[in-house]
A and B are shown apart, each in its own frame.
Chain A
Amino acid sequence: QKEVEQDPGPLSVPEGAIVSLNCTYSNSAFQYFMWYRQYSRKGPELLMYTYSSGNKEDGRFTAQVDKSSKYISLFIRDSQPSDSATYLCAMSESGGYQKVTFGTGTKLQVIP
């Protein structure tokens, strides 16, 4: 079993829909949780970063972390065609050097 599990999709939604992307993990030592967006043939770029449990909102994006369930989510409101990309969750343990463990990524397509 992988440390981080993520449904690869693809996920196809109409423009304007609310998108929910999720990851589960098994390592209870993970404290830092991230979402990266990766466009085709590009490197990943950091989208959201949260520490421990709770919610964080940034524009149309909301990240949620539930450490008790070892479950994290990324919500995209009013999805746009430009949101079409692969979304990777990532997480790391606390203290010192941080080795980041990535999920396999969910491919999202927003249809105009």
Chain B
Amino acid sequence: GAGVSQSPSNKVTEKGKDVELRCDPISGHTALYWYRQSLGQGLEFLIYFQGNSAPDKSGLPSDRFSAERTGGSVSTLTIQRTQQEDSAVYLCASSLSGTRNNEQFFGPGTRLTVL
């Protein structure tokens, strides 16, 4: 079956603009995660969804970052008033459930460049 998909694959934007990144998880996966990957920084956890609710959003770096998930499926990560330090690859992952470390399946990521 289809894996996790993300769109767009690349996004170039100007400082101060808002961007929306989309994630389509594997069908039937109730848990969804957003990560940010910067050069030399590894994967930085942003937010975790179980169904449509986000019990852990502790990794969101500022109030410019928000995310939602609808219908227990598609998720959108929104970055308002983008800054150059927001440039990174944003990865989405999904798993069958959020408990006991079910394997997380990652999408290919969205490469965001803020000029």
Give the one of B56, B99, B103, B104 with max A CB within 10 A: B104
When the two chains form their complex, are residues A42 and B103 in contact, meaning their CB atoms are under 8 A apart? no
Stretch at the interface among A10-18, A52-60, A92-100: A92-100
CB within 8 Å for A96 and B99 given contacts A43-B4, A43-B91, A105-B42: yes
Taken together as a complex, chains A and B put the C-alpha atoms of A100 and B50 apart, in Å, by 15
Report whether B108 and A43 are in contact in the complex, using a CB–CB cutoff of 8 Å. Answer: yes
Per the bound structure, the CA–CA distance linking A32 and B100 in Å amounts to 9
**Residues of chain A from 63 to 95 with CB closer than 8 A to chain B in the complex:** 88, 90, 92
With the chains together, A88 CA to B91 CA distance in Å? 14
Q: How many A-B residue pairs have CB under 8 A?
A: 56
Question: What residues of B have a CB within 8 angstroms of the CB of A97 in the complex?
Answer: 48, 50, 55-56, 98-99
> In the complex the two chains form, is B40's CB within 8 Å of A104's CB?
yes
Q: Is the CB of A98 within 8 A of B99?
A: yes
- Asked if B45 and A99 make an inter-chain contact with CB atoms under 8 angstroms apart, the answer reads yes
With an 8 A cutoff between CB atoms, is B25 at the interface? no
- Closest Cβ of chain B: how far from A37's Cβ, in Å? 11
- Scoring B residues 13 to 34 as 1 if CB is less than 8 Å from chain A, else 0, what string do you get? 0000000000000000000000
Q: Which residues of B contact A4 (CB under 8 A)?
A: 42
A88 to B103, CA, bound (A): 15
Which chain B residues lie closer than 8 Å to A6 at the CB level? 42
- Are the C-beta atoms of B104 and A92 separated by less than 8 Å? no
Distance (Å) between the CB of A41 and the closest chain B CB?
Answer: 7
Among the interface residues A42, A46, A92, A98, which one has the most CB atoms of the partner chain B within 10 A?
A: A98
Cβ–Cβ < 8 Å partners of A99 in chain B: 45, 48, 56
